[in-house]
Structures are given as C-alpha cells and as structure tokens.
Amino acid sequence: MELYKRVEASTQLPWYYIAAFDQYERSVRLARNDLPDPSGTLSIMIPPDKWSGLANPNQHDSNPLSISFFEGMGMDGDQDGKADITNEYDQLAAITQYIMSYGADTDNFKIGVWEYYNRDRAVSIIMSNANLFRKHQTIDLQKKVFPLPLGSHYTYNSTWGVARGWGGRRTHEGTDIFAGYGVPVRSTCYGIIELKGWNKFGGWRIGIRDINNTYHYFAHLNGFAKDVKVGQLVEPGTLLGSVGSSGYGPPGTAGKFPPHLHYGMYKENGRTEWSFDPYPYLRLWERNERASMRR
C-alpha cells in the first residue's frame, strides 16, 4: 500500500490502479504452476520481451539506454544505473511509466491494460479490483463470512465432485447447504456481482468475483434482494437473496428438490477456469465468524 501511495504522490497516478494491476498479477501467479509464486511486496512480473523490447537481441537486457532504444518497458527505478527485471523499484517504475504513457484517467488506463494483456477479461477484473480498492481505501479485503447467517438452521456436508442425475452426466461443482425457504443468503466476500439471472440448472443465481479472482456462485435462490444488480460492489454480509429450490427447468421452475443454497467456487488463471471444493473454506469461514462473534 505504501509503495502504491508513493507512486501516486510522485506521478498523480491513483494508487488503486497500480494496486489493482498488481493484485491481478498476484492472483494469476498464485493460480498457475508454470509461474513462480510472488515473493516480494510487488507481484507484477513483466515478461522479458516486454522488458527488453521485442526486437532487442539481448532479451536479458538491463541497460536502460539500449532498452529504451528497443522500446522496452524496462526502467531504472532505484537509480543504480541498471534496469533490473527482478528489482521491485525498477519494476514499479516500468509499470508506472507504461500506464502513464497512456494516461492516468480511467479510459486511458483501460486501454493501457488492454494493450498489455490483449484480453477483455483482464481489463474487467483489474477495473473491479481498482473500484473495490478505491471504495474501501484499503487493499486488505480478504475477510470472508459464511453465506447464511450463523444463527439460522442449516446443514451441509462435503458433496463436491459427486455425480448429479438431472441434465445428463455431470459432477457436482459445489457444496449444498440445506436450509428453509427464505433464509437470507449473503455475499461471502468483497467483490463484484458478475452475473445474475436464471439458468436451467442453477435456477435464480448470482455470481461474484472476489479480489483474488475467485468466482463465488450462489444458486437455487428463492429470489433476489432488492437493488442487487450486475456490476454492484459487495462486501462480506451483503444481502443477495434467500434460500429456495429454483432450477431444473425453464424460468420459474421450483420445488424439484428440497430448498438449499448451492455454493460453488471457481478459480481462474488468465487462461482457464475450474471448479474447486468450497467445503473446507465454508468450514473455515464459519469457524472464523463464530470466533469473531465471541470476541
């Protein structure tokens, strides 16, 4: 956070833009096996060809002059005469310079991000991060809560990956939390509502992408909370709707199974998206929330 603020002070580039960029890089690196996990405070990893310049015969160049001659991004941020791709200050200077070459306002920042990744999804994820950071004025947005109020009656078991009958051969991509009709369903995380509507499997459902680029999926809802809409920023505990039994047919179908919340989690690594088991996380959030209520 300090690092980002320092950049803002010297360049007028809002701190949450760099923080959002950095946060996206961190989530992608953590979700991919072919990239090293982030180790320093900064997670942005600039590819060597971007750093040295595409046409640069030396793809490990650290000379600021030749890098700039070949239009590479590499910069000498700590003024030691070298543009070192592994140095945090040099990386930060490079990414800041890159963004500033497009402009510090929202539209130009978006263009800069698109040119960097050539991927619409990266732009939307980074903009969501930036909006969340700006709104809460902090990068510490890791808090989670259990999707149902802890005081309500519910039961759940680990059922991720078991076979599902309806709609052909498919496996269960989530945890079913059984509760009565109308029990409130809340956002588990800080994030942005990416999806809301009907699906023949999930019924009325909502999808939220959190700050770590994890996608949280809430299905079979009875209905939605007032004012909940796509693009809305949410926080742990934001009311989304209530438990129901919608799904397994055309819009409005309900009652084909006992009411429950289907809760799914998906990870994205910049290339593909996959489901993972939410059960251990649900247990953890439930435990942590209980503990924080006792304090």
Q: Which residues bind Zn ion (CB under 5 A)?
A: 174, 176, 262
Residue 244's contacts (CB-CB under 8 Å, 6 or more residues apart) are 181, 182, 203, 204, 220, 221, 222, 223, 254, 259
Closest residue to Zn ion, Cβ-based? 262
Phi and psi at 125, nearest 5°, equal: -65, -45
CB count within 10 Å of CB 220 equals 26
By beta-carbon proximity to Zn ion, the closer residue of 14 and 278 is 278
CB of 159 to Zn ion, least distance (A): 7
Question: How far is Cα of residue 64 from the mean position of the Cα atoms in its chain?
Answer: 34
CB of 264 to Zn ion, least distance (A): 8
Residue 76 in tokens: 């000498």
By beta-carbon proximity to Zn ion, the closer residue of 86 and 155 is 155
Helix (H, G, I), strand (E, B) or coil at 207: strand
By beta-carbon proximity to Zn ion, the closer residue of 191 and 202 is 202
CB of 101 to Zn ion, least distance (A): 47
- CB of 15 closer than 8 Å to CB of 8: yes
Cα torsion angle, 222, 225, 228, 233, sign: negative
CB of 112 to Zn ion, least distance (A): 40
Distance separating alpha carbons of residues 200 and 246, to the nearest angstrom: 9
By beta-carbon proximity to Zn ion, the closer residue of 112 and 174 is 174
CB of 207 to Zn ion, least distance (A): 14
Distance separating alpha carbons of residues 94 and 25, to the nearest angstrom: 15
By beta-carbon proximity to Zn ion, the closer residue of 142 and 158 is 158
CB of 288 to Zn ion, least distance (A): 23
Residue 269's contacts (CB-CB under 8 Å, 6 or more residues apart) are 28, 31, 32
By beta-carbon proximity to Zn ion, the closer residue of 29 and 220 is 220
